[in-house]
Structure 1
């Protein structure tokens, strides 16, 4: 019996010896930090979702035209780049953590103003204030989560901002449905005013968040950075390597022994270079960039451009209008169908988070855009058939609804989360805050252009023609991603610049 037990133990040990190395487990502390930071993205999502339904009642109450509706819905995307631009310098100045407070404070004030708006002009002012807060949130959430995440789960954690954007959209749709039965003057104001709730939650969350380790290193506060890295890395060895890589990347001046674990050194502060505090960034990115940096900047801004140029914001913002064109007449039915859009987006973004670190950014992005192309072409064809028909074409109505749902689903599994993950992680530490701010500016400007022209574009070239145009932009985006974006899965943030240099060399070799 003893001999059998010993043999069993030997066999089990032998099997264990041949087990493949397990993937490092995700760090609970890094997960909590990423969730708290990413909650700022709810602000954009809620505003996007709630305006799609609220505008139905705002139009009736304030008696505004189609052009005023377009401006009301889309103008916040032209206000938010101001916040994103300011957030780049603000986060380098006071830190990532306190920049999140700015986001919550601005949106809180904007939501209050919109909720008490007596007229169109006052409502536009409230959207200006809220837009500044959204701009801050869009820039800071992916930057903070990328900088606090270990390489093994950075894709998973950095996709959280997009998860919360979609959660916010769904909450906005639910708010539309919940308050739609109230008196006209009260209902839409409550829909907008409830936005104060997530901004308050964000402000409380900041109280328990640590500062970004990369910002701490940029400020020479190496002891504090090491303590954060110890809590957010897969191992002590990885924490030491991350600290050494960050120091090298930001150009620390002075000496500090990374291997010294003496607690007396925990609060050491060293001198940093001017470059590490955000000075000279614009010159390095746009005036005299290296070939690798030029490639990175084109990729980071290009992915934001095409994420919005394909018109998915029109699907989200104007889904009640699209469903009306498809043949759904009842306000309640349109809002219920819109909730289905929000639910689909949220479910598929959650699915995407578990594939980013397994499948890779590039395959998911190309697959996502392929699905978007098919969905938009289907939607454009069906809406054209419905528009040209004198009778209700039920199969086209059903297929239109299905195409709307598949377009947001395929967007959520790739183009939605990967845009923020990829554009943040490829930027070198010294350029990350202000480079991410520029990406957010491009994103919001394009979103504003799309959302402020959809109704006019639909009138000029039919709603089907508008979606054919968006499909053509999706084809151009797929080609751009295929030729310009290398894979970044599993690489540390400090390795990215070299990866783009190698990708460029390989591309040139292939051409020759």
Structure 2
């Protein structure tokens, strides 16, 4: 009976393999191959990542009883990525192992388990629900950390610019400016251009990736952001007049726009679903850490002649780390590889499938295949994840839209009711409503205004004086970082919606309290809620900061990285980034007029009204996404499976 089961299992495996990879094909069994350094397509977007070199390892097939044998024929640039060498060989390369176990998904274990009556093991993969017979392995901590840290550095450099600019403006207007065209000669308009130069650069960068983001890929986009950061910081250091300083700030801002577009996409597409929320939320913590680092450098350089130059130049080595990480480790997103792969007839190019499998294995920390057990839960989970990723990419390829189609069909709703691509259009429209709404409310619920008044609030409580003010700014930055870090463990346990609703409710209350405190001060009232008004204002300020950092701060960027369908993710997230920076620019532009018209208390009450609208929007429109794959989220937003 046992021999019969094994024979049937072997026959089933051989039959499945022969259908997928017939004799003589790239992945046919019993070949020994070596992968060349060059991709067959030359400088292609889908070139294998640096991990390919580490995969050129021969290992024994289970039960072959033979040792590894080098000397297999190499592959020329014009040859396919894999080629059959000697049909009589019994050795299996790492690439063949991936093709058999991950891409083909060896059916022998499932066949034997079915014979024993194990229904879970025999369950077939359904792209709509996932692989019900696969247990999730432990997270590979090092690989997960690496896929996160380099995109997060892109966010840190954004935050650093905010903190460094606050000190640079003080330095440029002071006696330590170090240049003749600054100091007392710097006008308010010039000060505003220096402060907002990177913001307008970010708007241009966001527009550029809207138009061309899908053409360069996630990995190359991270590298581009690093190069723009380096160019902007170096040019700022060597600026010899006001015009060159503003242009250099704009160049750095281009890097911000690119980085803030690709970072949430890359982390969301490559992270394991169980920790995706914490990782994208941690990117916000890196932005806040960057602000704190910028404040700290400003404090340390406050008495140095032309210290603002050094402050901006500190970004250069940090951007160099990002560039080195992309060059040495960061693989391409497997979802992007499969989305943009060349087609062999109706099927995805085999080399692209193998490259995607290699990169996914690297992202999950499965780097050594020598002697690997195909029945190991980690490999079975990888095979399940690869199949769902391929299924999602297949749907996305069929529904990929040009920029013109994106605006006509998605924004105007054309084709949303059609059977061909209608679900994708509905999903994108729903996701845009969620993403653009969160980006807008993130900016119009008072963050710029509250931080604008922070120095006045702290001064009224006795924290005044130049050095004390800068130390307090550092302390406020540290408080923001701690508040953000405290929310991270709950993003994937409590969920996105509860934290959003709790945080926005808290900042609404804080804005109301700040409004009453400001009104009380202007009216000569000295106490509020049983304490001095100044202390009540400080308490409300801290409540606002903490509430923002557990809600809009980390979770808005997380959700916009999750909800957009793969087919339109690049364009849709670029629209969200544009909304974020655009609304930020508008708030900065109209805020002085609003403050002049409504006063400090009226401004707080206006933002409290917006916060109430934000809470209602979240309650009615923002779904829970914790623990779901990106493909599951896309299906739900498209109205499938409801």
| TM-score over 0.5 for the pair | yes
- The total of aligned residue pairs comes to 465
Confirm or deny that 1:476 pairs with 2:618: no
Aligned to 1:401: 538
Aligned to 1:414: 551
Deviations 1:380-407 (Å, cap 9, x if unpaired)? 3223333444999992222222322222
Distance 1:471 1:70 in 2: 26
1:118 and 1:384, CA in 2 relative to 1: closer, same or farther beyond 3 A? farther
Scaled by the length of structure 1, what TM-score is found?
Answer: 0.83
Distance 2:135 2:290 in 1: 35
1:32 and 1:187, CA in 2 relative to 1: closer, same or farther beyond 3 A? same
Q: Does structure 1 conserve the Cα–Cα contact (< 8 Å) formed by 2:168 and 2:298?
A: yes
1:197 and 1:47, CA in 2 relative to 1: closer, same or farther beyond 3 A? same
User: How far apart are residue 133 of structure 1 and its match?
Assistant: 0.8
Scaled by the length of structure 2, what TM-score is found?
Answer: 0.67
Q: Does structure 1 conserve the Cα–Cα contact (< 8 Å) formed by 2:233 and 2:252?
A: yes
Confirm or deny that 1:193 pairs with 2:317: no
Please identify, of 285-294 and 337-346, the stretch whose mean Cα deviation from structure 2 is larger.
285-294
Deviations 1:225-278 (Å, cap 9, x if unpaired)? 11222343583333223322232323379xxxxxxxxxxxxxxxxxx6682898
Aligned to 2:166: 52
Aligned to 1:260: none
1:23 and 1:53, CA in 2 relative to 1: closer, same or farther beyond 3 A? farther
Q: Does structure 1 conserve the Cα–Cα contact (< 8 Å) formed by 2:463 and 2:472?
A: no
SS at match of 2:253: helix
**Which of the two has greater helix per residue?**
1
User: How far apart are residue 279 of structure 1 and its match?
Assistant: 8.4
1:392 and 1:474, CA in 2 relative to 1: closer, same or farther beyond 3 A? closer
Confirm or deny that 1:366 pairs with 2:366: no
1:317 and 1:25, CA in 2 relative to 1: closer, same or farther beyond 3 A? farther
User: How far apart are residue 335 of structure 1 and its match?
Assistant: 1.0
Distance 2:476 2:326 in 1: 31
Q: Does structure 2 conserve the Cα–Cα contact (< 8 Å) formed by 1:100 and 1:137?
A: yes
User: How far apart are residue 501 of structure 1 and its match?
Assistant: 4.5
Q: Which of 542, 552, 560 in structure 2 is aligned with 1:423?
A: 560
CA RMSD of aligned residues (A): 2.9
Aligned to 2:431: 296
1:292 and 1:99, CA in 2 relative to 1: closer, same or farther beyond 3 A? closer
Distance 1:347 1:73 in 2: 26
Structure 1 unaligned segments of length 5 or more: list them: 1-20, 254-271, 506-512
Aligned to 1:241: 384
Q: Does structure 2 conserve the Cα–Cα contact (< 8 Å) formed by 1:104 and 1:133?
A: yes
Distance 2:508 2:589 in 1: 22
1:493 and 1:175, CA in 2 relative to 1: closer, same or farther beyond 3 A? same
Aligned to 1:227: 358
Distance 1:329 1:503 in 2: 58
Distance 1:283 1:439 in 2: 17
Confirm or deny that 1:25 pairs with 2:138: yes
User: How far apart are residue 417 of structure 1 and its match?
Assistant: 0.9
Deviations 1:366-388 (Å, cap 9, x if unpaired)? 11101111122222322333344
Structure label with greater radius of gyration: 2
User: How far apart are residue 88 of structure 1 and its match?
Assistant: 4.1
Please identify, of 439-448 and 156-165, the stretch whose mean Cα deviation from structure 2 is larger.
156-165
Aligned to 1:103: 225
Aligned to 2:410: 285
Mapping for residues 105-504 of structure 1, pairs under 5 Å: 105-183=227-305, 186-207=306-327, 208-220=329-341, 221-233=352-364, 235-251=378-394, 275=400, 280-287=405-412, 288=414, 289=416, 290-316=425-451, 319-320=454-455, 323-324=458-459, 328-389=463-524, 395-501=532-638
SS at match of 1:355: helix
Q: Does structure 1 conserve the Cα–Cα contact (< 8 Å) formed by 2:136 and 2:378?
A: no
User: How far apart are residue 198 of structure 1 and its match?
Assistant: 1.8
1:242 and 1:107, CA in 2 relative to 1: closer, same or farther beyond 3 A? same
User: How far apart are residue 456 of structure 1 and its match?
Assistant: 4.2
Distance 2:139 2:524 in 1: 55
Distance 1:426 1:325 in 2: 43
User: How far apart are residue 51 of structure 1 and its match?
Assistant: 1.9
Q: Does structure 1 conserve the Cα–Cα contact (< 8 Å) formed by 2:273 and 2:628?
A: yes
1:316 and 1:47, CA in 2 relative to 1: closer, same or farther beyond 3 A? farther
Deviations 1:125-182 (Å, cap 9, x if unpaired)? 1221111110001001000000101111111122232121111011011111111122
1:113 and 1:85, CA in 2 relative to 1: closer, same or farther beyond 3 A? same
Higher relative contact order (CA 8 A, sep 6+): 1
User: How far apart are residue 283 of structure 1 and its match?
Assistant: 4.0
Q: Does structure 1 conserve the Cα–Cα contact (< 8 Å) formed by 2:135 and 2:381?
A: no
Q: Does structure 2 conserve the Cα–Cα contact (< 8 Å) formed by 1:55 and 1:69?
A: yes
